[in-house]
Amino acid sequence: EVQLQASGGGLVQAGGSLRLSCAVSEFTGFNFDDYCIGWLRQAPGKEREVVSHTGSREEPTYYTDSVKGRFTISRDYAKNTVYLQMNNVKPEDTAVYYCAAELYCSTSHYVYGYRGQGTLVTVSS
């Protein structure tokens, strides 16, 4: 079993920065190194989408087109934590952000079987 806890959301002005954290708890049979961790978001009235994901140490990271060059995902293997650094945020980044885990990476949010509670990011114009 895997438990994920996202934090770091809040209110930020357009052009500002925010860093989200996802703490992943290990339980018997779970190895943080083996799992792909994704950041998903759901804006009001829109479908949930995969914003970014990070797999094994050899796998490339993924970013959806709308955040490329602005968001950076990173993974601290010692702390079992994944971060999402959000720079130059825009009002359209306003959403509830979730972190999720699965044994393999996907750009489809349906794939991720383990999900934590979300953290709300609100970007004011």
* pLDDT, one tens digit for every residue, the chain (125 residues): 789 999 999 999 999 999 999 999 877 677 888 899 999 999 999 999 999 999 977 788 999 999 999 999 999 999 999 999 999 999 999 999 999 999 999 999 999 999 999 999 999 99
Q: Is 86 left (phi over 0), alpha (psi -120 to 50) or beta?
A: beta
DSSP helix/strand/coil, 42: strand
Q: Which of 36, 31, 33, 7 is nearest to 114 (CA)?
A: 36
Query: CB count, 10 Å around CB of 42?
Result: 15
CB 40 within 8 A of CB 101: no
The pLDDT value recorded for residue 44 is 92
